[in-house]
Chains A and B, each alone.
Chain A
Amino acid sequence: MIALVARDLRLAIRAGGGFGLGLGFFLIFVTLTALGVGPTEAVLAPLAPGALWLGALLACLLSLDRIFALDREDGSLDALLTAPLPPEAVAVSKALAHWITTGLPLTVAAPVLAPLLFLPPSALPWLIAALAVGTPALSAIGTFGAALTVGLRRGSLLLSLIVLPMYVPTLVFGADCVRRAAQGLDPTLPLVLTAALTLGAIALLPFATAAALRVNLR
């Protein structure tokens, strides 16, 4: 498992690996939101929690179709599934590598970009916390969607359609946590719910991902 995660991370930082892709998209999304909606605090501040979460979610979505498709094209996926590693471990490793290359950088970058949208500084720790506990669920769900669509030609659009509805709970509670923090209310409840969603996704989805991989390689 460690070897697989290490390989995926190494691939991500080599040329064409797409490590900065999600991060760059997030930066552009936040900037365009500020430019498009109008750069005043009165307009942007109420939007900031939702916009930041939406940006993070779409940035996560960008790299999902690479998770298994590239491995399938070059035959690595066949070889991985005949290896001693159980498919569930492949699913966990892939989700973990995806989170380290997208979720983690987004979590780190969000507080730097949040002032562009006039998010109150008091909400910054909660933004970091909500993204840190919420983005692993995005990676786990996305890995499942990628496994479902791995055998399809041009499956990436279908992948978005499958994955986005499953992102709704994390988006709702994650954004709510930041919004409450920005308004000076107690944000713990939505944060705990976000964490619960993540724990549920991490516990259950690797099995679904493994089953989808087995079916799709027939």
Chain B
Amino acid sequence: MEWGVSDLACRRGEALVLRGVSFRVPDGRAVAIRGPNGVGKTTLLRTLAGLAAPVAGSIDAPDEAFAYGAHADALKDQLTVAENLSFWAAIFGTGADAVSRAVQAFGLAPLLRRRAADLSAGQRRRTGLARMMLTGRPIWLLDEPTVSLDAENVARFADAVRAHLAEGGSAAIATHIDLGLDADPLNLGAFAAAAPTRADDPFAEAIE
């Protein structure tokens, strides 16, 4: 589905970090969100996902269209990979087919019966990314998805995103490296709000 945002302003905690963000993403396209640390890539993705309300502006896609893949992989250490994946499939109502497709796409079959606590960082990451396929949602929001992945698995991930785009989905990916995807760049530096003043706000510090 085609979607976009217009004149969006976002905040992280009490600090306004982005303002005037406008872009459109057509069907089957990905947008690569770039910018230096702290510019607000994660904040933008959380706002899009509906986890934070925008300060101003609008997002012309329903909350239910977005699937959010954060830094954390949303895996439970005590559960096996299979249990983790089928839990998320049940929550998103996508069923066993989606699980087997996700397992195939990320080569997780040998790890299915292993507890998430016993996975390496890269294996955890792959399982976390496989979760995106279980949401069945058209727009993937991914925050540094390739952290801890080796070259082979970056390629696997790029294939999964390409397959998703080919089905008419779309994606917004915050990343510092080139994924080999044909993505439209979006440099957030252009939308950075003025430096926030919150150094002397003890309340903001307490609720951080």
Residues of A within 8 A of B (CB): 3-4, 7, 10-11, 14-17, 73-76, 78-85, 151-153, 217-218
Residues of B within 8 A of A10 (CB): 78-79, 83
CA–CA, A100 and B135, complex, Å: 28
CA–CA, A82 and B48, complex, Å: 11
Residues of A within 8 A of B91 (CB): 3-4, 80, 83-85
SS class, residues of chain A in contact with chain B: loop
Query: Which residue of chain B lies nearest to A13 when distances are taken between CB atoms in the complex?
Result: B78
- Please state if A217 and B52 are interface contacts (CB–CB under 8 Å): yes
Q: Answer yes or no: B166 CB below 8 A from chain A CBs.
A: no
Q: Per a CB cutoff under 8 Å, which of A3, A153, A217, A218 touches B90?
A: A3
- Inter-chain contact count A-B, CB under 8 Å? 74
CA–CA, A82 and B88, complex, Å: 12
Residues of B within 8 A of A (CB): 13, 46, 49-53, 63-64, 66-68, 70-79, 83, 87-88, 90-93, 128, 131, 135, 207-208
- Please state if A75 and B78 are interface contacts (CB–CB under 8 Å): no
Residues of A within 8 A of B78 (CB): 10-11, 14-17
CA–CA, A75 and B71, complex, Å: 8
CA–CA, A85 and B79, complex, Å: 21
Would A84 and B72 be within 8 Å (CB), given that A3-B90, A11-B78, A11-B79 are in contact? no
Residues of A within 8 A of B131 (CB): 79
Query: Which residue of chain B lies nearest to A79 when distances are taken between CB atoms in the complex?
Result: B74
CA–CA, A75 and B72, complex, Å: 5
Residues of B within 8 A of A7 (CB): 76, 79, 83, 87
Residues of A within 8 A of B70 (CB): 75, 78-79
- Please state if B74 and A76 are interface contacts (CB–CB under 8 Å): yes
Q: Per a CB cutoff under 8 Å, which of A4, A11, A15, A82 touches B68?
A: A82
Apart from A82-B50, A83-B92, 15 more pairs, CB < 8 Å: A3-B91, A14-B78, A74-B73, A74-B74, A75-B72, A76-B76, A78-B49, A78-B68, A78-B72, A79-B88, A82-B51, A82-B66, A84-B92, A152-B207, A217-B51
Query: Which residue of chain B lies nearest to A151 when distances are taken between CB atoms in the complex?
Result: B207
Query: Which residue of chain A lies nearest to B206 when distances are taken between CB atoms in the complex?
Result: A152
Residues of A within 8 A of B73 (CB): 74-75
B118 shortest CB reach to chain A, Å: 12
Query: Which residue of chain A lies nearest to B116 when distances are taken between CB atoms in the complex?
Result: A74
- Please state if A82 and B76 are interface contacts (CB–CB under 8 Å): no
A25 shortest CB reach to chain B, Å: 21
Q: Per a CB cutoff under 8 Å, which of B53, B68, B71, B87 touches A218?
A: B53
CA–CA, A129 and B3, complex, Å: 55
